[in-house]
Amino acid sequence: MALSIRPVFATPIFEDGFESGDLSKWSPIGGSPTVTSGDAHHGTYKAVLNASGDWAQARFVYTPIDHGFMRAYVMFKSFPHTGAQTAVFGIFNWGAFSYMSEARVINVAGTIKWALRYYDNGVHYVAVSEQQKPVLDRWYCVEVEGKSNTTTGAESRIYINGDELTDVSQTGKNNPYAMNCAYIWVFAPVTHWYDCVVVDSAYIGPECSLTVNVAGSGSVSKTPDQAIYAWGTNVTLTATPTIGWSFDHWSGDASGTANPITVNMTSDKTVTATFIQDTYVLDVSTVGSGSVNLNTSGPYYYGDVVELTAVPDVGWSFQSWSGDLLGSVNPTTIVIDGNKTVTATFTQNVYTLTTTVIGSGSVIRDDPGPYHYGDTVELTAVPNAGWSFDHWGGDLSGSTNPDTIQMIGDKDVTATFTPSVSVGGHSIHIPARDIARPAAAYSLLLCLFAAVLASLRRKRR
């Protein structure tokens, strides 16, 4: 089973990753152990113990403790032959030669198994585990635990990659000696590699890696930011979205939407932070009569450029933009960097109605203005004395009087009046077309003269 307790962090009693390139931290040294570069668990160097039919060991003696742990990363390059076994490492009492906990591998009928060597009442025993089977050329995190200096409560345990091999755990043993020595040791013709050795008074656990992936656009910071974490380290992950994106959720070895989040490193872990792209609203309204066309209807994302074209209704003109867009350029563009509100203002066109008079008279309007698209204006031609209305000209035609004109633009209307002659109490209208033709006018005058003579003759009688 995996250890569920949290470690009590303290300054380790001893640690060596062999990055010094030698075994200077170990004493005494027996046989011919070496330190070589390349293929380390991490870092550059590893220790190599190659018994070659003999034994090799390195020891470290420290102040005695009653409860201790030793962890090392171990790679097996070869195994003992059938029926043989070899030590891997352990902790014990140097003076009494009492082994509290020692990791071993043993070849049982051709099958390599983990084993735990322990001490009880003056005798050393080896318990063989059936839970896991080691293989060559793979780094294992191996940890042994020993509790001693007691006649009834001594304990021994072994953990592989953070999992306790419970079928070989020992409790209630008699081991009256405190631990004061840690060692790496092989005594069979085998080769072991070692790295990242730690001795402490609390559970050490596997070194853990934390891989952080990102889906979407953003980043994740780790505090502390390390390539490798000690077992039980709390790492704070903070998701920071790129502008225009939002953090959505964690997945993998973390879950939920809390940000930041804390990950407790009890194994190698992979966490993915998912970011989603923000969508923004472009709210367009109008004042007056008209509409606004957009070159894209959305959804809109950060940095999108939208073209707006104001289209006035007939009789109206686009005046200006307001809100998050200013000016009167049409069409124009807006950059989406948040929710946007734009108003297009249209103003009603004002048209002029110009009236002029030919002859003597005036024109009366029923509406003095201002005039907008579709307005209807009634025009009445009023001749002065001795004149008659003849016809409309310009943007109005005919001789209907009064008459109406519809304002669909600027309008120019001419009212033409012509003289009229009163003969015998009768008013005779001279059409404008005849005034414009001399021959016709002369003929008309002759007729008028004849009419006047006839009238005078009647009076004399």
Residue 6 has a pLDDT of 39
pLDDT in tens, 141-158: 999 999 999 889 999 999
Reported pTM = 0.71
How large is the C-alpha radius of gyration of the chain? 54
Give the per-residue pLDDT at 7.
44
pLDDT confidence of residue 95: 86
pLDDT at residue 11 in the model: 74
Residues 128, 132: Cα–Cα separation, whole Å: 10
pLDDT for residue 283: 97
Residues 6 or more apart whose Cβ sits within 8 Å of residue 460: none
Question: C-alpha dihedral over 148, 29, 117, 63, to 10 degrees?
Answer: 10
The per-residue pLDDT for 299 is 94
The three-state secondary structure class of 182 is: strand
Those residues of the chain that have pLDDT short of 50 are: 1-9, 440-442
Strands 411-423, 353-358: parallel, antiparallel or unpaired by DSSP? parallel
Q: What is the CATH number of domain 14-200?
A: 2.60.120.200
Which residue ranges make up each domain of the chain?
A: 14-200, 210-277, 282-348, 353-457
